[in-house]
Amino acid sequence: MKYIIVTGGVLSGLGKGITVSSIGKLLKSSGLRVTAIKIDPYLNCDAGTMNPYQHGEVFVLDDGGEVDLDLGNYERFLGENLTSDHNITTGKVYKAVIEKERKGEYLGKTVQIIPHITNEIKERIKRVSEKTNADVTIVEIGGTVGDIESMPFLEAARQLRREMGSESNCVFVHTTLVPVLSTVGEQKTKPTQHSVKELREIGIQPDVIVARSAAPLDYEIKKKISLFCDVPLEAVISTPDIDCIYKVPLVLHEQNLTAYLLRKLELGERKTDLDEWRKMVETLENPKHEVSIAIVGKYTHLKDSYLSYTEAIRHCEAALAARVNKIWIESETLEERPEELEKLKGVDGILVPGGFGNRGIEGKIRAIQFARENKVPFLGVCLGFQLATVEFARNVLGYKDANSTEFNPETTHPVIDLLPEQKGVKEMGATMRLGAHKIHLKPKTMIAGLYNSTVIFERHRHRYEVNPNFIEVLETHGLIYTGKSEDGRRCEVLELKEHPFFLGTQFHAEFKSRPEAPSPPYFGFIRACLEYRKGRTEGKG
């Protein structure tokens, strides 16, 4: 087994996750089996209960794991489906050790950070490597070197390298910041030097330094980092700010990082095939078409809250050679200032993403009503799917108090509700439907055409469902549920008759979208937006 351990210094948010994803892409393109692990130092067992404003998007895996958004990038770059085991948290580790202690598995020994916590960390890393049969396992240690939370993980990484018996079996990559002081306009290496010094004090000497900066590193700056940090000059990699994360593997490869890592890991010379990836990036940089879509959300102040949505759109841009201008609209503003609806008049499509809680719901419903009445292409995901049902019940069926019981438990028209077996269960996790589930699509429907199939598997993260008692009346008036769960009890997809593109999915198709294989609902949506724009332009002409 071979390991690449990626650490971060100076400050958070430097892009360790993209570095891991890009290195994984380079090694996989060299014919190797690659997997990736994210270590999160927080005490939560998983990301399921975390606030999107603090942590960004909660990414959901096939097995129902609610994990850090970096695992979404791993999946997109590697084209692999990961598992909950690929996300190691302090909470998971300490919980497991305490449970073992309570069962007497440590035979009365005093349980300590070293060796018991560090052994648990190493065992979990090795378990993933063995289960996936990976040639190389890339491990990202979250946080910043020097954080007290990260110390046990860094110590475990140090021990892992020693236990592997050879430096060729475990390589350390350190991501760091090279800032520029505006007063002198010079790239400064001191933060990097101090960060590497802290790593050395732990017992870790980095083999590669990936330096983040606003502009490419000057040659003299690379030489200085090489000298002061005791890293070969060829292993000082410059990663300047770029506008597209999918360029990063190409930037790293152009600096011969692939060859260096292969040599360092003693994996021999290999051809790295990035032709298709390079074509995809070139298409993104040279779009032939342009559209504008409104994303009406509840967490738009932090774009990472909708990372998988924006990446799914990016994948469609590559497939359709189009630039998609995203207009972010906070749904609360549509409630407080209805005149904000004017912004929707200039867009070619409206996307209403998922979310939880009552805030901003009425604003989302107004956006959905606008899309339905004005025949603007619409895609509703999870909560957006549920609110499309609520909007239709209110404004077409005339059920003025129609709602989800999540928001109004006293409504006389609960078109969205918990299923009977879910009612009375207090714990959110106990009623949450998570992970990939089998879905049956009605033949000869729009959704079946997009997937070119009548059976699909997509990922979920929700509690409430379309109330079966209202399906017949809704469908009679034109809102058709064209996808159902395997047992037939849950509605998964809705379409609207007499509308060019009105689609809602209870599942989160964006979680399985890939750069070279865009999600079918998103592809259909952006294609419909292009057609809508073309029609408007020709109409004006």
Q: Which sequence positions are flagged as catalytic?
A: 382, 508, 510
Which phi and psi (to 5°) does residue 122 adopt?
-65, -40
Query: How distant, in Å, are the alpha carbons of 14, 85, 136, 172, 429 from that of 31?
Result: 28, 24, 11, 21, 40
Pairing relation of β-strands 186-187 and 180-181? antiparallel
In whole angstroms, give the CA distance from residue 480 to residue 113: 57
Which phi and psi (to 5°) does residue 308 adopt?
-65, -35
**What number of other Cβ atoms are within 10 A of residue 453's Cβ?**
13
**CB-based contact 391:369 (threshold 8 Å):** yes
Query: What crossing angle do the helices spanning 307-320 and 520-540 adopt, rounded to 10°?
Result: 60
Token couple for 275:
């032709």
**CB-based contact 188:179 (threshold 8 Å):** yes
Query: How distant, in Å, are the alpha carbons of 66, 82, 303, 378 from that of 223?
Result: 42, 38, 36, 53
C-alpha 428 chain-centroid distance: 22
Query: How distant, in Å, are the alpha carbons of 315, 442, 443, 521, 523 from that of 449?
Result: 19, 10, 8, 10, 12
In whole angstroms, give the CA distance from residue 497 to residue 520: 20
**What number of other Cβ atoms are within 10 A of residue 146's Cβ?**
16
Q: Tokens 């790239």 identify what position?
A: 187
In whole angstroms, give the CA distance from residue 329 to residue 295: 6
Enumerate residues 6+ apart whose C-beta is below 8 A from 30. Answer: 258, 262, 267, 270, 271, 272, 273
Segments of 318-390 assigned E as strands: 322-330, 349-352, 378-381
Nearest to 522 by CA among 283, 326, 274, 332: 326
Which phi and psi (to 5°) does residue 194 adopt?
-65, -35
